[in-house]
Each structure stands twice: as structure tokens, then as C-alpha cells.
A and B are shown apart, each in its own frame.
Chain A
Amino acid sequence: MNTRLAATAGALAFLAALSLRPSMAAEQSGTLTFVVRDWFTAMYESRFMDECPEGLNVGNDEYWWRGLSKKDRARLTEDGLVQTLNRHNLAVARGPKGEDVCLIPTLVKDPPLRVVEGKLAYGENLDGTTDGHATAKTCKHTKFTTPDGKAGIDNQLYRLVGCTYGWRKGGLVDLNANEMRGTSGLGMILIEITGVDNPRNDDDVTVTFYRSIDQFALDSAGTPLPFSTYRIETVDGKPRYADSVKGKIVNGVLETGRGDVRLPFYGNYNFINPVIKDLGLKLEIAEDGRTATGMVTGYYDVESFMHYVSGLGVAIVISYFSCNAMYEAAQKLADGYPDPKTGACTMLSSAFKINAFAAFALHPEKQSRQAAR
């Protein structure tokens, strides 16, 4: 029996022997662990798209197409046979010398990106102000209110991408990334909650974010099996990712304080490992302890975000945005962490919705010992 199966079977047998609900496992071990399955940009989408009064953005392909003569359209697309999906390399080569405007977004100026003008968004108050005025750590910005009425919300990432099809319901950016993470074993994020005396109420726990080297253990429907074991990635015996924040659990809802956390992110064939500044996590743990849903909030740096966006591959054309217009808008909307030299903010307040499954994290020092059982 291999390491993970042995560990999972052992843990489940232990629970069964004690006739415990899985959520009560923490009372025995002091630890709750979840593996993140889905990671979505938190988007508020109204029924009539009120947040985007001018409609959604048009994309690289449209701008490229507009700039071509009829003759060039025919020449470059084999008389129209090469459609949007297969001409993404051409559509972004809009620089003066054919440069890629996603790789070098300052070469060409497109009409400004359409950004969210609505007042509602998901997220948290990250800067502590009620009106978004500039502080030592932030730049002036406009606040949102959550759909259930909580004011003072910061979410400039939503303002940036909220009127772009790729991030909205049915758009491919996050869907693709989640699909690829689900099938590749890359970008696997483990959330480990330690110091848990009571899994439903505990006022002092530590939350650590790791990267696992294992793929999801799936059931026959392709859904992750709760309480599977995942090995933590290590270098020289130490976890490569292991940033922590403190937190508390109230009635089954984990809420952390804020801290800087580096995460291993993979999606759309790109690897980035951004540090989310002032990351906070709110995670609602299901009564049976098998799943959890929640929201990650914090400041996401413009550089990492635009690097990811500019490497989206085919999604660059079927997500319908202009790379250079988005780059320009991202600089303007950044509301966190001013550059000490220029004073311009470098990060975007953001919120992400996550779905997670209960898991066991196999720590490096236990991996060989576990295998020997």
C-alpha cells in the first residue's frame, strides 16, 4: 500500500474506531486540513449587467481585425478560414514592428478598458478606511458595498476585470485554470489549521499554506475524495511554501488575521507564485467537516497579475480584452502598496472565492515514517 493510501486508510480507520464524525477529528489531532479545489475571482454580476453600463470589453482579436485592410484580412486568415481561436498569436502582434502587445503592453494605445462602475462587490475592507482616501499604505480609490449591505469594501481587481467576459460567468480564465489544476496536480494549495481544540469554536488557531506535490484523489464522478492524503512539497526536508497567519473559528467559520502569503498558482499553462499581501481567509467549514467554502482577500500585485494575463494563450482572444488597455487600467486602479520612488500604487485589492475539500497533509518528517507503516 502506498504512502498516501496508507495514511488515508489509517486515519479513516482511526475515525471509524472512535465512531467520530470527521469534523471531530481535529479534537483528536488538533489539526484540520483542506485542499483547495476551485479558485475564482470574486465577481458580482447583476441580472442586467448594471455594473457595466457601456457593456463588456472587446478584445485583442477585434482590435487587430479593425486595423487590417480587407486584403490583409483575407491574406492572414486564409480567406477567413482561420478563426479567432487559432489566430491568437496574430491578434496580439499589434506592435509597430509586429511586437506582441501582451508581452510589451506599452507599445500601442487602445481605447480605455471598460471597468466596473457599479457599487456592489464581494470582498473586505482592507485599508481600514470608510471612504478609500489615501493612506501610507494605499492610494485613493472608490469603495464598494457587498450585496448584503456591508460598506467599505476594497476590490479593485473586480473593478478591473468585472466587465471582461473572460472573468464573468461562463468565461474561461478561471474555469480553465481550475480544470487544469484539477487534472495536472500542479498549483495544489493546502490549507492547514493547527492548534485546533474544538473544530467548531476555537479562538486561537494557526493557518499555514503549503503546496502539495500530489494530484487530487478523485471519486468516479471526478470530485475530490474528502480526507485524502497529500504530501507537502519540500526542499532539503523543509516545506518550500509555508506562510502562516493566525485565526479563530467561530461556529464553524474560520476567520484569519492578515499576513503576507506566497501561493503556488498554476493555470492556463502559466506558473506564478505571487505574494498576496495582507491576505485574510474566511472559510466556512461544513457541519460534517468534509468540505469548506470561503473567500481569500488581500492585495495582489499588478505585475504578477498582468504577467499571468499576458500569458493566457488562446484565452487572450476569447476572453475579450485588450492586453494593453488592461495594463493601463491596472496601473490606474492599483490601490495598495505605493512604490516608494514614484508614489504610484503597485497592488490591487482583491477577493477570490474558493472551494476546498478536507484532507490530510503529510509533513516531510512523517513521509518516510508513514511509508514504513
Chain B
Amino acid sequence: MRRLLSIAALIALAAPAFAAPADVVLQQRGRGALITDTKGMTLYMFERDDQPEKSTCVGPCAQVWPPLIAAADAKPEPEWTIFARADGSKQWAFRGKPLYRYSRDVLAGDTNGDGVQNQWQTAYVPIPVPPGIGIQRTIIGYVLTDSKALTLYSRDGDTDGSRCDAACTRTWLPVLAPELAHPLADWKPIVRKSGAKQWAFRGKPVYRYSGDELIAEVSGEKASKDWHAVVLEPPPPVPTWTSYRQSDAGELIADAQGHTIYVLEENRRGRNGNVNIASLTDWTPLLADKTAAPVGSWAVVTLEDGSQQWTHKGQLLFTYKKDVLPGSILGIRSGDRRFQAIMRSGLPMQGTGN
């Protein structure tokens, strides 16, 4: 109930910063505006829809991902268009990308479809950023990045002028703006002592950390207490009994003992085909006690025997008996794609072939 109330409050507080048609609602988030339908149900975009105003999700796909059908009297707006599906119905698209609901979202605010099969993402109107600046998901949430998807940082207490001198810039690399750059929303070019222009976001000049090499890396967070990644939106909450563990494939979410938690992805067909899960003796259901309460995308379901099992985005959670050491990921096996670890970043695990 509390979850419902908080979602309702979010919807009520949502201040549409962008013009949108009556069939959708924009809910302000740190990285932009989440697009929902008028009931607050999250809308999604499909990676395979790579041609504007053309849906590749038809037939059984469209039953799982119902298209957002335009009302009979709906009229297109700038960036919001209506196109005809193969069956003749009219579907909304944002910036050319068709919009869908997800049949496994139950409550307003659910985002169970985000990341499914690495093909579906929540639909967002991103905050305006200058050319060459991006937004990336990391272990500390959504952050600003440069054109190579490397994290941007700012220094505590910095204002419009940069206090980072020549020695400082060996570690913290100013993100330069073009000579003809103009202010854009929260972005403003400032002039460094050298005369070069540097981008400032919400009044703070932005930099890259020289020690970051990989996409989504945030090593700069540990380099100095005064410098922090520019976090637009914190990561979704996790239950208090979970822990973060380093694995050979990155940081992941584990139980309190450090055992990797796996999602049983029901949308995937694995090597076990339709074999009953109960017969998979290597997998232990992640059970919840009677007082367990849902947190973010984490919830509990009651099983036939009355016990409760944790779910993540509506899918059952397990640990793998052969994962003896904290951070072990022996449950990840080529060919059996149904069991997936939950990475702290929210991104899919690298190297699994999915």
C-alpha cells in the first residue's frame, strides 16, 4: 500500500517539463522524464525498432508488449507521432520510436520490462545535453559522460570558475566546450584561465578522471573526497539483506553471505527446456521471511507450500549451490541463459553471450 501511495505521489508531483500528448504522462526523474501512460504504467522502447515509426513487435510479442494505441481523436505533437501498425491500429511513437507497455508490470511505477532480453528499455525524454555529452548507467546510478561514455566529475564547492589548476588537470581533465558553444538548459560554457572553454553543469565545471578507462567506471569516486561523479539519478533501492560482491564479471548483488543472486528469466528458453524448476537440484530458492516487504523492484511471492520467495522485476530469485566462494558466478553457463546474475550497475553481465 505504501508503495502504491508513493507511486501515486510521484505521479501527482510529476511536473511535465516537455510538451506531451494527452495519452502520456511525463514523470520527472534525474536523467529526464519517464514516459508513462495516463494510469502511470511505464512505457518502453524496443531496440529492434530501428526504423522510425515502424514496429517490429507484432503477434505474440505484441501480447507481451502491448503497443500504446492512440486515442481516436489523438493528434500528433512535435516529436510525438502516430503511425499505423501492420494490423491497422494507430500507435504512438516518441522521436520515431514506437512506445509499448509491458504485460508483467502490475502496479503504476513498475519497471519490470527494463532490460528484458537486453532489448527493452524504459522510455525517457532525456535531459538536454550538449553534443558529445551522454548519460550512462553505473554502479552509483545514472551519471553524465563524455563522448566515449567515460564518467564526468565535479569538485565540491566549485562554482562557475574552475579552481583546478595545471597540476590538478593532470588528474582531472576538463571537459572542453567548442569555441562557439552556447548555454543549453543546465549547461553553460565557462572560460578557463588558458582561454579555453569548459562545460559547466548546474554551475559546476565538469571533468573526466584520468584513471577511468572503462565505460561505466567510477574510480574517480575513490581518488579524492572532494571530487564526485555527476550523478543524475541514484541506483534503485535494494533490500537491506543484500550485499555487493566483486566477481570476475564485475560487481554484482549477492545475499548477506555473499552468494550471487540469480534471476530466473522466464522469457528465455534455456537448456533445461520446460523442466520443472523444482527438479533443478543445484538451485536454491531465495526465500523471504514472513515480515519481508517489497523494496523497489524487489518483491515477494507466496509459493504453493506457503513459503515466500523473493522476486526481482517479477521474476523468481535463486542462489546456486556450487557458488561456494563470495563472488563466484558458476551459475552463468553458456547455453543456459535462463539464470542471470543481477549486476549492481543494472546493466547486463558482460561476457555471457546474451
Contacts and interface: CB of A to CB of B under 8 A. Distances in A.
B214 A266 contact: no
B267 to A, nearest CB: 16
B246 A89 contact: no
Contact of A266 (B219, B248, B271, B272): B248
B246 A233 contact: yes
Given A103-B271, A307-B330, A367-B211, A273 B350 contact: no
Interface string B333-354: 1111000000000000011110
A266 B214 CA distance: 19
A186 B211 contact: no
Contacts of B171: 371-372
B132 to A, nearest CB: 18
Interface string B314-341: 0000000010010111101111100000
Interface in B193-227: 209-214, 219, 222-223
Contacts of A213: 214
A368 B223 contact: yes
Contacts of A269: 332-335, 351-353
Nearest to B328: A273
A11 interface: no
Contacts of A233: 246
A184 interface: yes
Given A2-B210, A271-B247, A368-B211, A89 B271 contact: yes
A199 B325 CA distance: 37
B273 A98 contact: yes
A313 B273 contact: no
Nearest to B171: A372
A97 B272 CA distance: 10
A306 to B, nearest CB: 11
B9 interface: no
A68 B155 CA distance: 68
B170 interface: yes
B211 to A, nearest CB: 4
Nearest to A303: B322
A310 interface: yes
B72 interface: no
Contacts of B330: 271-272, 307
Given A98-B273, A313-B353, A270 B211 contact: no
Given A313-B335, A373-B170, A186 B222 contact: no
Given A93-B273, A272-B330, A311-B335, A372 B170 contact: yes
Interface string B227-263: 0000000000000000000111100000000000000
Interface in A85-99: 88-89, 92-93, 97-99
Contacts of B249: 186, 271
A136 interface: no
B272 A100 contact: yes
A211 B250 CA distance: 12
Contact of B336 (A103, A314, A368, A372): A103
Contact of A88 (B219, B222, B335): B335
Interface in A271-289: 271-273
A4 interface: yes
B328 A92 contact: no
A186 B350 contact: yes
Contacts of A372: 170-171, 210
B322 A307 contact: yes
A371 B210 contact: yes
B258 to A, nearest CB: 11
The range of chain A's interface size is: 35 or more
> Mostly helix, strand, loop or mixed at chain B's interface?
loop
A307 B279 CA distance: 19
A1 B273 CA distance: 50
B275 interface: yes
Given A186-B249, A269-B352, A273-B328, A6 B334 contact: no
A6 B210 contact: yes
Nearest to B280: A103
B213 A310 contact: no
Contacts of A303: 322
B174 to A, nearest CB: 14
A41 interface: no
Contacts of B211: 2-3, 367-368, 370-371
Contacts of B213: 2-4, 214, 231
Contact of A271 (B246, B269, B332, B335): B332
Nearest to B168: A372
Nearest to A235: B246
A266 B353 CA distance: 12
A264 interface: yes
Contacts of B219: 367-368
Contact of B248 (A273, A312, A314): A273
Given A103-B336, A312-B335, A98 B275 contact: yes
Contacts of B334: 268-270, 311-313
Given A3-B210, A88-B335, A372-B171, A271 B275 contact: no
Interface in A224-274: 231, 233, 235, 240, 264, 266, 268-273
A180 interface: yes
Given A2-B210, A270-B334, 20 more contacts: A3-B213, A6-B210, A88-B335, A92-B271, A98-B273, A98-B275, A100-B271, A240-B246, A264-B248, A266-B248, A266-B351, A269-B332, A269-B352, A271-B249, A273-B325, A307-B333, A311-B335, A313-B334, A368-B219, A373-B170
6 contacts: A3-B213, A89-B335, A103-B336, A233-B246, A312-B335, A314-B335
Query: Considering the complex of A and B, which 8 residue pairs feature the smallest CB-CB distances, nearest first?
Result: A311-B333, A313-B334, A269-B334, A371-B211, A269-B353, A313-B335, A3-B211, A372-B171
Interface of A: 1-4, 6, 88-89, 92-93, 97-100, 102-103, 180, 184-187, 211, 213-214, 231, 233, 235, 240, 264, 266, 268-273, 303, 307, 310-314, 316, 367-368, 370-373
Interface of B: 170-171, 209-214, 219, 222-223, 246-249, 269, 271-275, 279, 322, 325, 327-330, 332-336, 350-353
